Each structure stands twice: as structure tokens, then as C-alpha cells.
Structure 1
């Protein structure tokens, strides 16, 4: 039988063995993605075909102080910088996976010597040998090597290339994760900045109210001296003044914490945050254009991140499934080997080898089956995570659209309430001076107007924060 026939039969045997082996490989089953978005949002909410998510945050937040804070955060925020390094790790994992399905070539050199015992078989043989006529066999026998060795796992089943593609998808997912962090960072700084402006205005309201209460306390003390009021009235007015001062201290603490939060997000130590509190009530609430729900899939970085993770999980199943098939490894070497360095360049010192190994798991495949089962479970997890992300994004946006709508109406009614209570304070003071109203009515009216003004500021804050949240939930802020 010729050598060619032997190799031919071996090849046929290996092919048939691979086909038979593939019959035992589990079939790949993927969980379908069932999450679909409605065609449009609720009729009363945004029906415009455009989308504010495509607007740059610099144009959306038209406040130079806020823009400066966001710029500082994008440069110095530690969490963002940590994530950037994770993206670098993912990028290098792609390069690592790409190199695995290419041949590995190593260049090396070696020096050695060998001297068997004279009364051993090898020693007795060497004793009878001459390296050249009338030239004794070298003792010890040197061994000098110089050459290259190549190893290559032939990627028959695309296992290594699928692993590289999965790493590439996870790199893209990490990039989208960075965009999602930027979106949330821009939103959090904006929301905290608006909260700081609201607190400044609340502090001004309290300070103005303190002046009115101090004036009222002075007047009631004067009335007591003239026997027109009692000590009870004085005590009630003084207690109201002390209660308002306590509110003042609480607001100051909240201002300190809001400033420190902004500075932390901006990656700097606590310092005064530049701002213009007078602009708080005049900030425009532009018409919110949410577009259609399907645009969330393109604009939301977290949805795209979940989509990439799902695609990578699908490829992981292919990688795990390929372990059930035979593996072909090829090794080759080429170099020079001689017992004396001066002979290394001689053609007679050339050595080479070439070998191929085809191996398949036969017994105890539990580890392979376990890896396949884990990859399948993770793919199912990725499907649910994607569906959850889409559902959460849609629900969050719908909540914020309703929030802006409801708080805009609430702001109008609360403004009217404050106007009425302001007039009521003047009326109550006038009636009290003319002994036509009890001091309790004055106290209650002052408390009601203070509460109403504070609630008006809080309602305004809810409006502005809803504007920020809508921009975030639509996927704006990372461009």
C-alpha cells in the first residue's frame, strides 16, 4: 500500500469520524426577543415626528454656568475616567482574541551538553564512534540550536473568530455604556444645578419672610406695651419667627450639600458654584418633541448596549458549541542544530518538523456541556435584560412626559394661589391693626403664604427636572 493511499484513508476516516461526532452536538436554540414598542406615545403627549435627543446638550441647556460645570465633569469625573479605562481593556481583549486564530511563531536558541556514563549503552556506543576519520567522538557532546517554531489551531468551526467577534461586540457595548454614563452625568449635574437655584430662591423667600415676621413681632410687642395685645400673641409671633429661622438653617445645609454634590460630579474639591438664582423663574420650558417610540432603540445608549451584549451572548453559544467538535492543531519547526557552533550554518545542520493533531473529546464531556449550558443561560439572561431595558426606557419616558404636563398645570394654579395669599396677608394685617381680626388669622395667613411660595419653587423645580429627565430618557446628552 502506497503512502498516498494511507494518508487518503486516514483523511476519509477523520472526516467520517467528525460527521459522526457532530451528531452528538446539541442543537443551538435561541430565545426570541419578544419586546416590541408601541407605534406612538399617548395622544396627549408628544406626537411630533422630531426628537430633542438629537440636540447637543450645549444647545439644550442654554446656561453658561451649567455648561461650564458639565464641561468640567466630562474632563475630570472619576467614574467616567474609570470607565474609559475599562473601554481600553475591552479594546485590547479584541486584539487578544484576534491574535488567537493566527499562527503563533516563536524564535529561539538553545545551548546544551550531554555526557552519558561510559558503562551505559549510550556511552559504549559513543566510545566506538568517530565524528570524522581518526577524530574521536566529542565528550561531552554539545547541542546548539537556532530556529523558529510555529503552532496554529485551525479555526475549522469559527470558534476563535466567533470569540473575537463577541469581544468586539462587548467593546461596542462598553462604548455605549460610556455614552450612557455621559447621559446620566449631564442629567444629574443639570438636575442638581436646578435644585441649587431652587434652594437659593427658597432661601430668599425665607429671608424676606423673616423680615416681615420680625416687623410683625415688633408691632405686636408695641401693641402689648399699649395694652392692645397680650403676651400670648407676642409668644405666638416669636415662635413663628424662630420656626422660620430653623427653615433657614435647613435650606442652607441643603445648599451646601447640593454645591458639594456638583463639585464631586465635576471632579473637584468643594468650592462655590457660579450661578444666577434670578434666572430660575425665567428659564424657558421649550416644547418637548419626543418623536416616536421606535427612536428610543437608536438614541438610547443603554438599549444599544443591551443589544450588543445580546449579540455577544449569541456568539458565546457558538463558541461553547464548537468545543464538542474535533480540534485540529498544526505545529511546524525550522532551524539549525549541531554539536558545534561552527557547523550551525552548514546545510547538513538544517532540521525541520511538521505535524498535525486532530483531537475530539470522547469521555467525560461534563465540563464542555456545562460551559455550553452556561452560555445558553447567559443568552437567555441577555434577552430578558434587553427587553427590560426597552420597557424601562419607555415607561420612564412616559412618566416624565406626564410629570412635565401635570406640573406645568400645577405651577399655574400654585401661582394663582400665591397671588391670592399675598393679598390676604395685606388684608389680615390691615384688619388686625384695626382690631377687626384676631392675631391668629395673621399668623395663619403668613404661614400659608410662606408654604405656598415654597411649594411654588418646588413645583418649578419639578418642571425643570422633568425637562432634564425627558432629555435623558430620550437618549440625549451623550452627543
Structure 2
């Protein structure tokens, strides 16, 4: 199709700036992409129970009904009917004067109050000379297909959100383990400080400083427990279920490594991403809407008719051929007085088509940038994680050294506390960095198409 003259659709670049890879992992189904069995079960539950996805399915059914409606408009309308009427014509009218002097049966004039009974079929058909009805049907078909792609886009986003939230949960579990391990170390140090205080080696200030550090870590533990509850309930919400414990293997977070994803070439996004296909189908629908709006300016041709039995008495209604009646009428009508309304509708639909073109262009640009951003993110996070790993090792050694120096009287208790705190923060930062690596992998998989096909 041709976009409006003042709208230019930009073409996708031939390659991504950081890759010339032709393989594309978006073709991999999510069941194979995500290797954690607990995560796969959660995604399956979400795909079955999620309310947004169910609502999108109902939208598909509405669009399916719209297709049937527009398809039916192209066919003749036939209805069966039974009617009864009572008529009285004025005596000073042509009908009344004629009836008063006419025998309806030998020796019986037409009654002044004349019943009229009819049983038969009525039909009406608009001949689609200018293609208005066909265009409406094609627009409905395009929107039906668009609704399917819309559901696929929601499914892609849902799979990514469940997976990302699941790794959030595993990261919090790992943080909680580290904090609890740190509390045990700090408690052991506090016990030693208390012994030294009783031996008059240290004063009460050192005891209180270590006690404050222990209580601070215990408070952080409860914060993590609350965060875990919130994240679990977020997963429950995505899965359409009431709060319950999320089954997961808490030991897998550190043992798993984010996969390297093949991105392919940008043009594959046009085929793989459901939001691209949805925007394109909406563009096609707007094209057919515009054709139908143009056809509304032209004359419409209609054929109407009726066939059945008609009589002034129910006893005579089904006598054939005397009571057989039919009508057939063809007509042509062209809009005259309401052309301004048609022009307004045409201008509105024309603007909607321009909007659809712009939305398509925006979707393409956004999709390309999503992939490019996540590719860069993955690359930089990999380097960051290597540095964080070295940082954790260095701070871990500094903690051991500080403890040894403190026990020999060559370091202060404040230096020990700072070393422990810094080491804890470094370990948590490394966990967060790894979580971000998982999320970047998930986001890139989603940006490439998400494995719907």
C-alpha cells in the first residue's frame, strides 16, 4: 500500500551496529529458551490464567464477530414475517370512492374497514458497485489479524515479565542468604568484642558499635523478606492466582550463566515481532477504511422485494394463486444534503491513516532501538560483572586482613566494621549485576520477537 504523500516510511538498517550475525534466537520457543523447570511452570500458568491475556483473547472474538458482520452485509437480507393490518380510506379519496363502488366478491363491495393479512418473505440487497462493503470487510479482516498479533505481543511481554520477576526473586533469595551469613559473622565478632570488653581490653563503645552493626543487618534482613513477599505476589498476580509460595530452586542463581543470544539482522524484526505485524495490519485496515469512506460519496444501488400470501381474510390467506403477492423494487440513491458529514468522516479516516503510518514508523524505530540498547547493555554488563567479581574478592580479603590486624591490636574496631560493610555491599552489588544480566538477556529475547512463532 502507499502511505499519504507527506509521510515517508524509513527503512530499517541492514545490520545492527554491534553485530553482523545472521542467526536469530527469537525462533526458539520459550519452553526451550528458559531452562529452569520452575520458571517454565510459572510461565505456563501465566499463559493460562493471566487476565490481560484472557481479555486479549476476547478482543479477538470481538474482531472475529466484526468480520462476520461485514461479510453478512455483502449478502442479501432475507426475513420471514407475518403481519396484520386494519385500513379505512376516506370516502372523499380516490381509494375510498373506488372501494365504495367495487365488488370485492360477487355481490359484496369492498368493506369500509378493510383487513389486510400478509405471510411471506422480505428481502433487501445493496449492490456493492463501488466496493464499499468489500473494503469494510477487508478492514475488519485486517483488524481481526491485528487483534491476534496484539495478543501475541501481550504474551511476549507477559513471558518476559514473569521471567524477569522470577530472577528478581532468586536475586533477593541470594541477597538474603548473604545477609544472614553476614549476621552470623558479625554476631561472632560481637561475642569476641564482649569478651575483650570484660577483660578490659576494649571499652563499651566498641561493643555498641558492633551491636549497632548487627541490628542494622537484621533490619536489612526483614526488608529483604518484605521485598520477597512483594515479588512473590507480583508473580502470583501475573499467574492469576491468590498469594502462595513460589516454588523455585534458590541455589541456581549463582550457578547459572546468562545465554549468549544471536540477534540476526534488523529486517527479521518485521516478521518476528508481533507489535510490528500488528502496526502493519492496522495500517492496512486504515487503507480499506479510506476506500470505504470514498465510496460513500457515490450512489448506492439497492434491490428490495417481497413474496408471500396476502388477503383481507385469514380464511382466504393461503389460497393460490389468488392470494399470491409479490413486489420487486430497484433503487439508486446519492448523498446530497449530508455530503458535509461524509467529508468530515473522510477527513477523519484520512487523518487516522496518517496516524497509523506514523505509529508503524514509531514501532519500527522503537523495536530497533530496543535491540540495540540491550545488545550494548549485555556487553557492558559482562565487563561490569568481571570487575564486580574482582571487587568482591579484594574486599573479602580486606575483611580477613582487618580481623587479623584487629585481633593483634594493629587495627581499630571501626576499620573492621567498615571492611565488613564494604564487603557486604560489594557482594550485593555483584548479585544485582548478575540479575541485570539475566534481565538484559530476557529483554533482548523479547525485543527480537520472544519466541511466539
Normalising by structure 2, what TM-score?
0.95
Shift of 1:193: 0.3
For residue 428 of structure 2, what is the aligned residue in structure 1? Answer: 454
For residue 41 of structure 1, what is the aligned residue in structure 2? Answer: 16
2:163 maps to 1:190: yes
Write out aligned runs for 1:79-158 (5 A): 79-115=52-88, 125-138=98-111, 140-158=113-131
For residue 205 of structure 2, what is the aligned residue in structure 1? Answer: 232
Do the aligned partners of 2:99 and 2:109 also contact (CA within 8 Å) in 1? no
Q: Which runs of 5+ in 2 are unaligned?
A: none
For residue 366 of structure 1, what is the aligned residue in structure 2? Answer: 340
Write out aligned runs for 1:38-437 (5 A): 38-43=13-18, 46-115=19-88, 125-138=98-111, 140-343=113-316, 344-437=318-411
> Relative to 1, partners in 2 of residues 1:428 and 1:317: Cα closer, same or farther, differing over 3 Å?
same
Count of matched residue positions in the alignment of Structure 1 and Structure 2: 450
Shift of 1:117: 7.0
Measured in 1, the distance between the counterparts of 2:90 and 2:20 equals 94
Q: Which runs of 5+ in 1 are unaligned?
A: 1-27
State the secondary structure of the residue aligned to 2:354. helix
State the secondary structure of the residue aligned to 1:402. helix
Measured in 2, the distance between the counterparts of 1:222 and 1:58 equals 57
Moved over 6 A (4+): 117-121
State the secondary structure of the residue aligned to 2:432. helix
Which sits farther off after the overlay, 339-348 or 299-308?
A: 339-348
> Relative to 1, partners in 2 of residues 1:187 and 1:155: Cα closer, same or farther, differing over 3 Å?
same
Measured in 1, the distance between the counterparts of 2:340 and 2:85 equals 43
For residue 473 of structure 1, what is the aligned residue in structure 2? Answer: 447
> Relative to 1, partners in 2 of residues 1:381 and 1:246: Cα closer, same or farther, differing over 3 Å?
same
> Relative to 1, partners in 2 of residues 1:124 and 1:390: Cα closer, same or farther, differing over 3 Å?
closer
Measured in 2, the distance between the counterparts of 1:219 and 1:390 equals 63
State the secondary structure of the residue aligned to 1:94. helix
Normalising by structure 1, what TM-score?
0.90
Measured in 1, the distance between the counterparts of 2:367 and 2:285 equals 22
Measured in 2, the distance between the counterparts of 1:202 and 1:29 equals 55
Measured in 1, the distance between the counterparts of 2:97 and 2:380 equals 103
User: Can you list the C-alpha shifts for 1:363-408, whole angstroms capped at 9, x where unaligned?
Assistant: 4521111101101110111111011111111111111111111111
Do the aligned partners of 2:4 and 2:354 also contact (CA within 8 Å) in 1? no
Measured in 2, the distance between the counterparts of 1:364 and 1:97 equals 23
Measured in 2, the distance between the counterparts of 1:253 and 1:329 equals 69
